[in-house]
Amino acid sequence: MNVRVRAVIFDFNGVLVDDEHVHFELFRDVLAAEGIELTERAYHAEYLGFDDRGAFEAALQGSGRSFDRAKIEDLIARKAKLYVEVAEAGLKLFPGAAESVLLAAERGPVAICSGALRAEVEFGLRKLAVRELVSAIVASEDTTRCKPDPEGYVSTLKALQTRRPDLTASECLVVEDSLAGVEAGAAAGMFVVGVCHTYQHDELLQAGARVVLPTLAAFPSWANFSDMGG
């Protein structure tokens, strides 16, 4: 890897926590109550990588429905309540998730940049027992534009710069599973590693990933042979 990495930024859903299928099912159920059908194919093709606000707005617009901010907030709250019930019943974690965060934290600051709600990210990090290793979290509430817009990663860099003022975007390594997330990290000028949890190798490369790993479990071994010092 011909880049000096001084900070690592992980996406959350689909990278550390294996819950993309849960989010699809919850989006589907909440939208079904509104009379809108959401198929798994449509979710992966159009909405995966969006935050809750972006996904609900896109689904309502695509169905020709009018809405206001209060309506979107209501849908988000309904989905969040259902997510808590599922998470408390048992949240599935990807193999290598805790080890990857631990390795990255040994080399420099670690952050999370996610379209998930902050409470969901906090819950998952505590479940992984790595919350104290994470220096910054940029969640859905912290941005106005969702991935593939780079706003979240730009904000994450600013948060990390409170610890390392001289940190640059090119010194940040991003770990992503979605095409929208890969595009966002690349657009922010960061080195993006894709993991094939959700999309195929070639798709992640075409989206802008510089390296693609089969799973997150491969990250610790790959990183040990990469220049992650500094």
Mean pLDDT for 178-200 is 97
Q: How far is CA 146 from CA 71, 87, 141, in A?
A: 18, 23, 10
Strand order of the β-sheet with 211-213 is 136-138, 110-113, 7-10, 172-176, 191-195, 211-213
What's the CA dihedral at 82, 95, 211, 203 to 10 degrees?
-50
Model pLDDT, residue 230: 46
The Cα 121–Cα 116 span in angstroms is 7
pTM for this predicted structure: 0.87
**pLDDT tens, position by position, 73-100:** 999 999 999 988 888 888 899 999 999 9
pLDDT-derived band of residue 179, with 50, 70 and 90 as boundaries? very high
**pLDDT tens, position by position, 50-76:** 889 989 999 999 999 999 999 999 999
**How far is C-alpha 181 from the geometric centre of its chain's CA atoms?**
7
Secondary structure of 184-209 in HEC code, one letter for each residue: HHHHCCCEEEEECCCCCHHHHHHHCC
Predicted confidence (pLDDT) at residue 1 exceeds the cutoff of 80: no
Model pLDDT, residue 227: 59
